[in-house]
Homo-oligomer: A and B are copies of this chain.
Amino acid sequence: MASDSLLKLEPDFAKSGGLVPAVVQDAVTGEILMLAYMNQESYHLTLTTREVHYWSRSRRELWHKGDTSGHVQKVIELYLDCDLDAVVVKIEQVGGIACHTGRRSCFYHRLAGDGLFEILD
């Protein structure tokens, strides 16, 4: 399924003002759990520690997900897209909760029609 040569790649941080969106997906169920941003430092820490690190845009600081709660995200697989400006990380979510609201996924507002959304528990 893969070509036999490997490429040294990293996200094109310069293109997007230093940050690229990272989509985090449960490696087993395929459920999308959250989207946050990585700068170059958090991306490299994600690769070297095998735990997901972000750049918090609101707090303007490096964010090791789960550092406080223990709900770290263990990297299972990592992908870059065609133009190297987005990341997908398939993870194991320790504790089963990715969202700060206590939900499994941050994507709990589901369109029910006409701009109206239902809240998934």
* CB nearest to A3 among chain B residues: B119
Interface residues in chain A, defined as those with a beta carbon under 8 Å from any beta carbon in chain B:
1-3, 5-10, 21, 23, 25, 29-32, 34-35, 47, 77-84, 86, 88, 99-101, 103, 106-112, 115-121
In the bound complex, residues from chain B placing their C-beta under 8 Å from that of A31 are: 30
Q: Are A6 and B117 in contact (CB under 8 A)?
A: yes
Q: Are B81 and A118 in contact (CB under 8 A)?
A: no
Q: Are B9 and A80 in contact (CB under 8 A)?
A: no
Q: Are B80 and A121 in contact (CB under 8 A)?
A: no
In the complex, A86 Cα to B79 Cα: how many Å? Answer: 19
Q: Are B110 and A2 in contact (CB under 8 A)?
A: yes
In the bound complex, residues from chain B placing their C-beta under 8 Å from that of A7 are: 109, 116-119
